[in-house]
Each structure stands twice: as C-alpha cells, then as structure tokens.
Amino acid sequence: MLLSPLKPLAYASSALSQDLSSPSSSSSSYRPAVVLPGLGNNTADYQKLEVTLRGYGVSTVVAKVARIDWLRNAAGLVDPNYWRGTLSPRPVLDWYVLMRVDEAVKEAKELAQGGPLSLVGHSAGGWLARLYMEEYGISDISLLLTLGTPHLPPPKGVSGVIDQTRGLLYYVEKNCSKAVYTPELKYVCIAGRYLQGARLFGNPSESVDSAIPMESLEPSSEVAVINDVSTSTSTAPTLRARFVGQGYKQVCGQADVWGDGVVPEVSAHLEGALNISVDGVYHSPVGSDDMLRPWYGSPAIVEQWIHHLLS
C-alpha cells in the first residue's frame, strides 16, 4: 500500500508536535541513541546530526570510526570466501561490530541508566547494527532506525551484477533476525528518493512505479512516501542518471529505479519493518548541502523521522 503524499506534521500526533516545538523540554524521558557510521564515513561526519538529536533531547553517542579504519576490511582479500562471494562477517568486521559498536553501546547504556536504547544506522551501519543485535542480543534495544541502508543482497544471476559485499549481505539475510514492528522492538527503514537512475543504453521503457508492483508488498511492509513530488518524464535520461543507475544496478539488479544517489529505494526497505521513503534526500553527509542537497541527517529531514526516537 502506498501512502502519498504524506506531510511531516500530519504524520506526527498533536502531542508529538508539541514536543517538537520545545525539543529539549523532556530529555530525561527519551532513549539515548547510538549512531553507527556508514562505509567510508568517520565519526566527524555525524557531528551535526549528533547536535541536532541532542537538540531534541536525545542523548547521542556516535561510534568512534576513522576513515582509515575501513582499510581493515581488506583483510577479507586473503579469505578464499571473498573470491567465492561467500564471505562471513567474522573476523573481517570484528573491529566494527565487536569493538566500535559495542564501545558506543556501553557508553549509551550509562546514559540510559537501565533503560532501552535506539540504534541509528546510516548506510552500511544499518546492516552492521543487525549483526551486532544478532551477536549481543536485543534486550537493551527498542528501536533500530536505518538511513539509506542497503539491507537486501543483489539478486543472483543478473548479468553484469557483482555483489560488492562479497557475500556479507547474503549472510545477514540468512542469519540475522527478521525485521519486526512491535511495542517491544521496532524496525524503521528510511529510504531517500533523490534521483531516478537510468539504463546505460537506451531510454527507460517504464517508470519505477510500474516496475515495482505495489501489490507485491505485504501489509507489514507498508511504504509511506513523505513529500512525494516526483513525476514520470519521457525526456532522455541524463548522463548522471545513467551513471547513478549503474550503481543502483549493482545493489538491486535494476538501473531505472529511484534511490538516494547511492542506494536504491527498494533495497533500503525490509519486510516486517515500518518502511518510509522521503523525497529529495541524498545518501551521504559528505557532499550534502542542508538547503540544496539535504541528506538523511540534515535538520529538515531529521524533523520528519525524529518522532520515532521520541516515542
């Protein structure tokens, strides 16, 4: 089921709107949040998001990651499973999941004083959060909110598509718990609709809306589209759209779909979660502009999903 358009203020309850007008008034009642950086990002990239969340009264801890840390993933090159496309997260990702995330969660637990936590995973940080939850359990976590996370592995057997995670997303899909949206634990998956990709050659023969039948979505995978102002066009796709489309194809197997410029919309949602798409949202804090090219953590975009951290 597609809900469109959906205005941010209509999406929140009247009580929530009152909270947003004075965000720091009841800080002690809100769960602390742990922000998990995405691939190639460092802690400093999320400094403004951290300030924004704290402005709403949400105590925030960003996992300590430096850009150079990601070079540790190169250890997977010596694993034969890397070349087979059957790579497992351990020990390649131990430095992130078992060290940096665990350190941040322990710091947030002190702030929570026995209460629950929220995990906010950006990009790869979202599925790395799922690995953490599988390894350590969910007793202290009541919300996983992901921002532009490529949750789904690429389809097998599609010409020209190579799994860039070398099997890691297949591992997550097979071994991690399914998404749920319950009073005890909520999964909220947010996707951005910044740019529609295009095939490398030729003109698109169909729009993304006809390419992905909405009736195929289960009720638990309902998608809400916030501020949907996109329209189909018959004009020839730009070189940029073709380039971005090739990136989308590596993630979901299809080039002419909507996405945030890096991750396709369809890959950023999970069956069983509350799935939300936000129009005009760019993937990364690097290269973003709060006015011209906002990303998931830009203040105006945070305003549209912050209520999930406050409820």
What confidence tens digit (pLDDT) does each residue in 61-120 have? 999 999 998 888 888 888 888 888 888 888 888 899 889 999 999 999 999 988 999 999
Q: Coil, strand, or helix at residue 37?
A: coil
pLDDT at 224: 65
Distance separating alpha carbons of residues 229 and 156, to the nearest angstrom: 33
What is the pLDDT confidence band of residue 237, given thresholds at 50, 70 and 90? confident
pLDDT tens readout for residues 239-264: 889 999 999 999 999 999 999 999 99
**Which token pair is 165?**
């995670």
pLDDT tens readout for residues 169-218: 999 999 999 999 999 999 999 999 999 999 877 665 544 433 333 333 33
What is the pLDDT confidence band of residue 235, given thresholds at 50, 70 and 90? low
pLDDT tens readout for residues 272-298: 999 999 999 999 999 999 999 999 999
Share of the chain above pLDDT 70, in %: 80
pLDDT tens readout for residues 62-74: 999 999 988 888 8
Domains of the chain: 2-310 (3.40.50)
- Averaged over 40-52, what is the pLDDT? 95
Question: Residues with Cβ < 8 Å from 84, sequence gap 6 or more?
Answer: 167
Share of the chain above pLDDT 90, in %: 60
* Cβ(255)–Cβ(205) below 8 Å: no
Quote helix, strand, coil % in the chain, to nearest 5. 40, 15, 45
Chain CA centroid to CA 153, Å: 14
Enter the pTM of the model: 0.82
* Cβ(58)–Cβ(32) below 8 Å: yes
Chain CA centroid to CA 306, Å: 14
Distance separating alpha carbons of residues 167 and 164, to the nearest angstrom: 8
* Cβ(255)–Cβ(211) below 8 Å: no
Question: Residues with Cβ < 8 Å from 112, sequence gap 6 or more?
Answer: 31, 32, 140
pLDDT tens readout for residues 134-161: 999 988 999 999 999 999 999 888 888 8
pLDDT at 2: 33
Distance separating alpha carbons of residues 292 and 295, to the nearest angstrom: 10
